[in-house]
């Protein structure tokens, strides 16, 4: 009996050791050395809660990280690869807010850090007509279309027509005056509910490909958005080599995207191989009171190292350019109003038409 007990003891001991070894093999490792800084824009001794913009710049670093998740008051707002995120608080007055950063390892381990900040957001008096635009220090205007000629300038723009078969969109693009006119100093692109060659909606899309292409600078447009559930207006850029290398190798810069189902929110993105669709970690949004009223300035400040996206002078998205990405090459502009699709969503049953008005497009270098 004693020998049997000894055998049982040895077996149990070996089994326990085996479990320990398995646990060590599959142990989830957490990122180490997580460091988080939160910069409240405009914070000084005299203004300890910031300059009233409500903007904070968050930067995190750690070892053994595959991504960083950013939570504002327990709501996830962004995931980034570089540990950088800029957030704008909208609540008016001085408010306390929790900012939590989670660094995630390849095995799923999480290290986190939370900061509580006090930040001032002043009432936004912008009525859509107050604009913040123009060159950065050292830049000059190198090209613009002010849309003052009474017709579309063919030295700048070409139409894209037909059903382009992208994003499950519902419109057919035309070059008709029903869908695009230049009048009263404005470019007007109108999406309409009408049947044409199998599509339930018509609209227009123009581009500067082969005519006006740019590398670096401040890209800016003053736009009044097309409203209504299902609309998807955009001001964006594609790599000039798209016909040779295709998308997304050519790269894409979305300076402004808007969907009518959320009337006060605008988006900016970049796309490149490994960062498309569901795996896009660069998309950012900004809620702007009055975005659905009047004109607003949408711009991208682009240099060899980064692209900074702004609306009415408010910075809300910064993308860092690294070696091997396509954002150190020439790009061209696109202006369009899509309907429905993967991002535009369902179109309201009572939709008839909606117009995007563009005051100008300018490039400073």
Name the residues annotated as catalytic: 252, 257
Number of Cβ within 10 Å of residue 256's Cβ equals: 22
Q: Do 226 and 191 touch, CB atoms closer than 8 A? A: yes
Residue holding tokens 């519902």? 170
DSSP assignment letter at 279? G
Number of Cβ within 10 Å of residue 7's Cβ equals: 10
Q: Do 257 and 271 touch, CB atoms closer than 8 A? A: no
Residue holding tokens 């810069």? 253
CA distance 7 to 13: 10
Number of H-type helices and E-type strands within the chain: 3, 25
Residue holding tokens 């859509």? 128
DSSP assignment letter at 348? P
Number of Cβ within 10 Å of residue 39's Cβ equals: 14
Overall size of the chain counted in residues: 365
Beta bridge partners of 118: 96
Peptide bond into 248 cis (omega under 30): yes
N-term to C-term CA, the chain: 91
Q: Do 239 and 209 touch, CB atoms closer than 8 A? A: no
Alpha helices, H only, the chain = 2-25, 242-245, 341-344
């Amino acid at each position: 009996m004693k020998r049997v007990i000894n055998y049982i003891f040895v077996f149990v001991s070996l089994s326990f050791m085996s479990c320990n070894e398995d646990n060590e093999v599959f142990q989830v490792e957490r990122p180490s050395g997580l460091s988080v800084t939160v910069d409240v824009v405009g914070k000084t001794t005299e203004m300890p809660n910031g300059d009233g913009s409500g903007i904070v710049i968050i930067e995190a670093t750690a070892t053994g990280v595959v991504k960083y998740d950013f939570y504002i008051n327990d709501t996830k707002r962004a995931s980034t690869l570089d540990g950088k995120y800029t957030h704008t608080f909208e609540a008016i007055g001085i408010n306390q807010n929790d900012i939590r950063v989670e660094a995630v390892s390849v095995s799923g381990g999480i290290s986190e850090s939370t900061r509580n900040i006090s930040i001032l957001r002043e009432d936004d008096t912008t009525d859509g007509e107050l604009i913040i635009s123009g060159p950065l220090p050292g830049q000059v205007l190198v090209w613009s279309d002010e849309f003052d000629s009474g017709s579309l300038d063919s030295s700048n723009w070409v139409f894209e027509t037909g059903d382009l078969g992208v994003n499950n969109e519902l419109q057919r693009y035309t070059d008709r005056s029903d869908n695009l006119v230049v009048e009263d100093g404005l470019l007007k692109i109108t999406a309409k509910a009408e049947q044409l060659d199998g599509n339930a909606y018509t609209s227009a899309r123009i581009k500067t490909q082969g005519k006006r292409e740019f590398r670096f600078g401040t890209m800016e447009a003053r736009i009044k958005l097309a409203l209504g559930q299902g609309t998807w207006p955009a001001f964006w850029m594609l790599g000039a080599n798209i016909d040779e290398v295709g998308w997304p190798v050519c790269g894409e810069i979305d300076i402004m995207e808007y969907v009518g189902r959320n009337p006060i929110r605008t988006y900016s993105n970049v796309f490149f191989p490994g960062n498309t669709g569901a795996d896009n970690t660069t998309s950012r949004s900004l809620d702007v009171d009055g975005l659905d009223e009047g004109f607003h300035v949408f711009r991208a400040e682009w240099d060899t190292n980064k692209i900074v996206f702004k609306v009415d002078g408010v910075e809300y998205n910064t993308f860092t350019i690294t070696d091997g990405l396509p954002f150190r090459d020439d790009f061209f502009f696109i202006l369009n109003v899509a309907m429905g699709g993967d991002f535009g969503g369902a179109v309201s049953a009572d939709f008839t038409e909606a117009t995007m008005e563009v005051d100008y497009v300018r490039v400073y270098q």
